[in-house]
Amino acid sequence: MDQPSARPRPVRLLFSWRSWTILALLSVLSLVLAACGGGGSPTFTLSGYVRSANGATPIGGAQVAVPSVNTVATTNSNGWYQLVGLPRNSGNLSVVVTAANYEPVNQVITPPAGPSATQNFLLQPVNPGGSAGVAGTVTYTTDSWVMGASATRSWPPAASSTSMVRPTFAPPVSRPARHVTVELRPGASGVPFGSSDYVVQSMMEQVRDLLAGSGLPKLNYRVFPYMERLGRRLATIEVPAGMTAELLAQRLQSSNAVLRARPAQYVYPTSYPVRLPNDPSYSQQYQYNLLGMPQTWALQPDAGSERVAVIDTGVRFEHPDLRGNLLSGYDFVDNDSDPTDPGSDTTFSSHGTHVAGLISARTNNGFQVAGTAWYTSIIPFRSLQPSDRTPIEYTTEAIAAAASPQYHADVINLSLGVEGQPDPDTQQLFRDAINGAIAAGATVVAASGNDLSGQAPVSWPAAYQPVIAVGAIDQSKARAYFSNSGPELDVMAPGVNVLSTSWNKPANSYDPDRASGTSMATPIVSGIVALMRAAGLSPNQVSTVLAQTAMDIGQPGKDNETGYGVINPYLAVASASGAGPDQLWIGFVTPDGTPLSQAVHPSFTPTSQGNWSYSVTGVRAGSGFVFAWLDVNRDGQLDEGDYVGKYPQGSTPITIAAGQSISAPLTAGIFSGAGATAAGRSVDVQMVSQAQRLWEGLIKAIPAGKTRASAP
């Protein structure tokens, strides 16, 4: 019987289906890692050239080493090197380059994602005779730097250059208070602090109950609901005839509803109006050329996005050169929604209208005068009488209102000051209102005050530290004799014979007029702050930038008479784009453009020597200039509008010996070079050519790895 044929035996799989799935996933992962470089070589090659600092001379025989991995390469006669097998997965690597007669360079590099990277090195020659040093201060100005005879300014006009401006009224003398300030206890009538509405009626009920309980039910009073939102429930009560403020305060203080009662303190306008021959044109507004506003407007012509609160005597809404820039505000004197300035019966009738025009008169419209910040919106608040005092609560309420969501002012201008030294409670009222405004994002600018001797301290609220306190200078950048002084003073601005929008009530004329005082300097600063903010600076940056960019005058460094110096709008606005004063490059360069040092940045430390200082070490012996350059438009080139400085300022270089240290103070101004002749300006062509050569040498001295406009 035939045997049946054997059935074929099935082949047994060595892997289950789950195993095949895992294998497939591992294959895909392997491909992904390879695509990401994980499957490639764990090393890379670094190559490049080593040259001298001028970038043109190759250095042969230089050692390029990575000490952490014991890898060294030597450059050939062309300065070329190659390092092979550097690890890619061990983090950043430190590369050290050394060569005979050159300063060593140590630079950290990041391994590339690919198999190779290029890195060139520039080495500074070593002075075999020893190192020298150059150090000094840096002063920034808004003057043109490379100009001929026309660099001398034609301001002030001859008619006003020698005459001393006299005020038409003196600072107010102390008089008996006409009001009593009362702070009410919270919840005296069931009213909580910080209520979502302003609880005006409930606050008024508290005051009526207080007066009735004191036997004085018919006295006039005011409440301040905006300050109530900041935790201060305040009222002012008029003193009746036959009673002193001190007696009324004592009487009211006896009520359990009262936290404290005191005679009111007052604020007053800080301007000294003068009348000069009127020429309503931009060319007569000397402050703009003095501060370099034409250059500033080229960077940031307007601040249409900003809202500036003018807390003052009100404004004239019908003024032809303000219409269109005025928003709705409030009158805290008459307690209504119409902050129109009623005016005084003098030729200079509206302090607030003059202030508003300096901030934002309609500009570039072929009519009357220019404002500092074009197209900026003005929110007028009336808290002052045109020629009299008002209780400070009107002003603190206006500050609180300006920063509220209803008005949301970006800048608050206070061309006013408290008469005399305010008591601690008055100071605290200002602190509360100003702190609330700053917390809401506003920048507060205030006048330092006017005293005929100029010896009075900075007035409140300018004396409060977060406020930008402004003093006044004249046409020659000298401190005005009436400008108050003290350690609280921040910056100075033109405040003598300043032309702006005005109103002559007796003649019903809207012709521009001149006025003097820190009241005039303050709105110029407020307008510049609006430009700074519109350019991109945050509220927290404004004060610091104003201090660091100011043009130091008077005693070197910050001082009580001039603060940090004259406001520099050009450099302040440029700082918003990263071209601040700390970006200035400084080095020692020969007349033919050979660098004798590395370039450095200055540092800001206000001292008795100045605000900005620098120190260049490792200088090689030779003849040259200390040259400085700030790339304002950040294009990497020397062109008009950049900041430039040189020491010495003439055409003859200085000679520095090995081991010698010299002092070289720098004054940096706005470069006016190649385009100046075409623009019709007188220019020293040799100076322009020399500046170009020095600049070419300076950029060779910028340390490797730094851009021409980079900070350390």
Q: Is the dihedral of CA 563, 569, 575, 580 positive or negative?
A: negative
What is residue 303's DSSP assignment?
A: -
State the pairing for strand pair 307-312/179-184.
Answer: unpaired
The separation between the first and the last C-alpha atoms of the chain, rounded to the nearest angstrom, is 102
| Choice among 302, 312, 432, 552 that is catalytic | 312
Identify the active-site residue in 360, 415, 519, 575: 519
Amino acid at site 75: T
Residues 6+ apart with CB under 8 A from 409: 307, 308, 309, 379, 402, 403, 437, 442
Distance CA 228, CA 226 (A): 5
Annotated catalytic residue 613: no
Q: Annotated catalytic, 312?
A: yes
Q: Quick check: is 509 catalytic?
A: no
Q: Is the dihedral of CA 276, 277, 279, 280 positive or negative?
A: positive
What's the alpha-carbon Rg for the chain, to the nearest Å?
35
Residue of 319, 351, 354, 601 marked catalytic? 351
User: Nearest-CA neighbor of 188 among 126, 249, 233, 244?
Assistant: 233
User: How far apart are the C-alpha atoms of 553 and 564, rounded to whole Å?
Assistant: 8
Q: How far apart are CA 442 and CA 198, in angstroms?
A: 21
Spatial distance between the Cα atoms of 332 and 114, rounded to a whole number of angstroms = 70
Residues 312 and 416: beta-carbon distance below 8 Å: yes
Widest pairwise Cα distance in the chain: 150
Token output for 427:
């100071």
Report the amino acid identity of residue 175: R
**Kind and range of the H or E run holding 320:** none
| CA–CA gap between residue 625 and residue 653 (Å, rounded) | 6
CB atoms within 10 A of CB 100: 9
Lookup: tokens for 256:
């359990």
Query: Which residues does the annotation mark as catalytic?
Result: 312, 351, 519
